[in-house]
Amino acid sequence: MTETITATAAGTWQLGDRTVNRLGYGAMRLMPMKPGNGPAERERAIAVLRRAVELGVNHIDTAAFYAVGPYASNELINSALGNPYPEDLVITTKVGPGLDPVSGKITEYGPEYLRSQVEQNLRELGRDHLDVVNLRIGDGLDRGAGSLADRFGVLAELREQGMIRHLGISNVGPDHLREAQAIAPVVCVQNQYGLTARREDDDFVKLCAAEDIAFVPFFAIASGGEHPAVTEIAAAHGVSAAQVRLAWTLHQGPNVLAIPGTGNPDHVEENIAAAGLRLSEEEVARLDSIR
């Protein structure tokens, strides 16, 4: 019988005062891509969350604006895992963007809306505090520009009030990190990053590691077309290309926390199994050379 690989195989990282397994789960893809699906879709999403936790995931990334029609990731997380939540579960959420009530599109909001967004996350998740809140800036995947001080300052105040335990920033560069650190401690940076995406952040990952800050890539396994090196290494290990990409991500440093997302019960097990995939130095070097 094949031994089940759990998220613990990836090792751990100290996220503020909480210890998390480095292989986590991102809830953005938990909902169907469009509204109109029935109760079976909801039950499948709940099953995915519960299976992820059964397999050792204790770090889940979410946001109040992860919502499609009647489906919202926060509500699904609460229904699947709450009352009570597992003691070791760390839920990270993000604020800044929100769903425009008129257009239905995700829009970046200013500092005056941040408290209400934090309160919305608390309400939907059924928590009296939020473990980690990331301030996300910018439009879509375009990196945020300009100062984040006014917005991050609001979150720092909410942290002082006990509504938030730890703070992070998302869709940012090193200058934003310095600006935020002057206001309050930063425990994580969450950016798009992967084997073939935003490799300009290679040095940013190392900078965060040097300062004991988690680097949390999103879309780490996205690929417009698979590179031959990835498929060859996957074949050699008898794994999928996505698992190779996740393993490479985890190899980038002890501070890197992978949060692959899926709404498919089979894929969640496959993603978590990547925690146990060990690449050789030669394989890592070969993958590193891909741009």
Tell me the mean pLDDT in the region 73-89: 96
Tell me, yes or no, whether 13 lies in a domain. no
pLDDT at 97: 86
- Structural domain span for residue 44: 18-288
Number of separate domains in the chain: 1
Tell me, yes or no, whether 5 lies in a domain. no
Tell me, yes or no, whether 100 lies in a domain. yes
Q: Specify the CATH number for the domain of residue 83.
A: 3.20.20.100
What is the β-pairing status of strands 67-68 and 18-21? unpaired
pLDDT over 80 at 156, yes or no: yes
pLDDT at 178: 98
- The pLDDT tens digits for 104-132 are 677 888 899 999 999 999 999 999 999 99
Tell me the mean pLDDT in the region 9-19: 97
Tell me the mean pLDDT in the region 2-24: 95
Tell me, yes or no, whether 80 lies in a domain. yes
Return the number of other C-beta atoms located less than 10 Å from residue 280's C-beta.
11
State whether residue 47 is helix, strand or coil: helix
Q: How confident is the model at residue 286 (pLDDT cuts 50, 70, 90)?
A: very high
Rounded mean pLDDT of the chain?
Answer: 92
pLDDT at 38: 64
Just list the catalytic residues.
66
Tell me the mean pLDDT in the region 263-272: 93
Tell me, yes or no, whether 12 lies in a domain. no
pLDDT at 1: 46
| DSSP single-letter state for residue 87 | T
- Looking at per-residue confidence, does 93 or 99 come out higher? 93
Contacts of 141 (CB under 8 A, 6+ apart): 171, 192
pLDDT at 283: 98
pLDDT over 60 at 33, yes or no: no
264: left (phi over 0), alpha (psi -120 to 50) or beta: beta
> Out of 91-100, 147-156, 212-221, which region has the weakest mean confidence (pLDDT)?
91-100
Contact 91, 127 (CB under 8 A): yes
| DSSP single-letter state for residue 106 | E
Q: How confident is the model at residue 2 (pLDDT cuts 50, 70, 90)?
A: low
Q: How confident is the model at residue 35 (pLDDT cuts 50, 70, 90)?
A: low
- The pLDDT tens digits for 178-229 are 999 999 999 999 999 999 999 999 999 999 999 999 999 998 887 767 899 9
Tell me, yes or no, whether 89 lies in a domain. yes
pLDDT over 90 at 164, yes or no: yes
Tell me, yes or no, whether 2 lies in a domain. no
